[in-house]
Amino acid sequence: MDAHSVHGHCFCGNIRFQVSGPEKFACFCHCESCQRAAGAPIVAWATYARDTFSIEQGAMHWHDSSPGVTRGICGDCGSSISYENKQRPGEIDITLNSLDDPTAPTLRAHIWTEDKQPWLRIDDDLPVYTRTVSE
Ligand SMILES: [Zn+2]
Ligand SMILES: [Zn+2]
């Protein structure tokens, strides 16, 4: 697939950004940090090259949520937009549901299912990882 611009925005629309698609990877994350950051039982992420990410409008609030991890959120509406981990330099994860077209990325796995809420049932055929894909 050829590289193309992927656009997205937060809930209130103050922040608009772009990255270059297609995504390198996309997954459902069940980790407790994502649950707390989003106030949701699960967050779908797509991974892109960090140097293709740019903010077109507004100012991101950067939250250092755990050692080596920075999350980008809108300071006005609270939308969870991005995730960067120093262990994966050169990459940025974007919440699928911040994209103008959340259906574009192909979800490929469930990760961090050791933190999964017991009442959430996984009902697809994607691979399941207790922690990260590499572990
Ligand atoms: Zn916003
Ligand atoms: Zn997570």
Q: Which ligand is nearest to the CA of 113?
A: 2
CA of 82 to the centre of ligand 1 (A): 13
Spell out the domain ranges in the chain: 4-115
What fold is seen in the domain 4-115?
A: 2.170.150
Residues with CB under 5 A from ligand 2 (ion): 29, 31, 34
pLDDT of residue 99: 98
| Mean pLDDT within 109-120 | 98
pLDDT at 134: 76
Residues contacting residue 95 through CB under 8 Å, at least 6 positions apart? 38, 43, 44, 45, 79, 80, 81, 82
**Predicted local confidence at residue 1, as pLDDT:** 59
The mean pLDDT of 91-107, rounded to a whole number, is: 97
